[in-house]
């Protein structure tokens, strides 16, 4: 009987995560944002992401085209690929929670831009709400290849001891954790108007819906 209950609980949890992911996707597609945040005008498509170059002749010769781009502009949905997470590294474990370092990966764009800081909102990792402090380190947007920022995020997930036994099984056994939430990218981005490059102060909302490797499996 206990075995059946455990199987049912696992199936219910998996279904709940799937529904959460679908709901997040639908909300991202219909989400509206305020006109301004912290004095920055909000604009989703202020940057244009580069796409990998397709070179048939290089492929025929067995040459790799990784890291090459043709400068093709991305559409509105591709803006959500601007900020991604790299492979997390476990930093600290206590009976009350875990801390891990999360690299931030920035996709290449077609124009110049300088990011002032990042703000994280409604972040959920493996079904648990996580508060992430602002990333107050400025950087230039890459134009050629993806950029992994020098300083990773340090994320703390609170797991009170009373819950460790109940969630330990799925926490330790799952290979990946779902991650949802939102990143606001604050900075200055250049556009060409009548052939004259002009810098605009903008905030870019990036909707996150991805998976990360479970850092506990390596411990």
**Which band of pLDDT confidence, cut at 50, 70 and 90, is reported for residue 97?**
confident
Give me the mean pLDDT over the 204-209 stretch: 95
Question: Residue 17 phi/psi, 5° resolution?
Answer: -65, -40
pLDDT of 68:
35
Q: Where are the alpha helices (DSSP H) in the chain?
A: 2-30, 56-60, 161-173
In whole angstroms, give the CA distance from residue 95 to residue 74: 44
204 bridge partner residues: 185
181 contacts 121 by C-beta, under 8 angstroms: yes
Give the residue from 128, 197, 192, 136 showing the smallest Cα distance to 163.
Answer: 128
Give me the mean pLDDT over the 165-185 stretch: 75
Indicate left, alpha or beta for 193 from its phi (over 0: left) and psi (-120 to 50: alpha).
beta
Digit-coded pLDDT (tens) for 159-174: 776 555 545 544 556 7
Digit-coded pLDDT (tens) for 42-72: 998 888 898 766 554 434 433 333 333 333 3
Give me the mean pLDDT over the 129-149 stretch: 95
pLDDT of 181:
96
pLDDT of 106:
97
Give the residue from 153, 143, 63 showing the smallest Cα distance to 106.
Answer: 143
Pairwise pLDDT comparison (133 vs 5), residue with the higher score: 133
Question: Residue 28 phi/psi, 5° resolution?
Answer: -65, -35
How far from the centroid of its chain's Cα atoms is residue 176's Cα?
Answer: 14
């Amino acid at each position: 009987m206990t075995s059946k209950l455990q199987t049912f609980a696992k199936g219910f949890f998996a279904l709940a995560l799937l529904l959460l992911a679908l709901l997040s996707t639908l909300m991202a597609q219909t989400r509206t944002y305020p006109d301004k945040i912290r004095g920055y005008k909000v604009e989703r498509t202020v940057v244009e992401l580069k796409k990998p170059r397709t070179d048939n002749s290089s492929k025929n010769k067995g040459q790799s085209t990784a890291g090459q781009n043709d400068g093709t502009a991305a559409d509105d949905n591709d803006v959500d690929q601007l900020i991604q997470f790299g492979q997390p590294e476990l930093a600290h474990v206590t009976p009350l929670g875990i801390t891990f370092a999360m690299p931030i990966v920035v996709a290449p764009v077609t124009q110049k831009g300088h990011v002032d800081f990042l703000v994280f909102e409604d972040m959920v990792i493996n079904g648990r709400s996580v508060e992430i402090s602002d990333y107050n380190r400025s950087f230039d947007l890459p134009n050629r290849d993806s950029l992994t920022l020098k300083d990773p995020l340090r994320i703390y997930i609170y797991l009170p001891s009373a819950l460790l036994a109940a969630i330990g099984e799925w926490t330790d056994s799952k290979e990946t954790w779902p991650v949802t939430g939102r990143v606001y990218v604050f900075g200055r981005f250049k556009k060409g108007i009548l052939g004259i490059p002009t810098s605009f102060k903008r905030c870019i909302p990036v909707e996150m819906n991805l998976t990360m490797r479970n850092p506990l499996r390596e411990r």
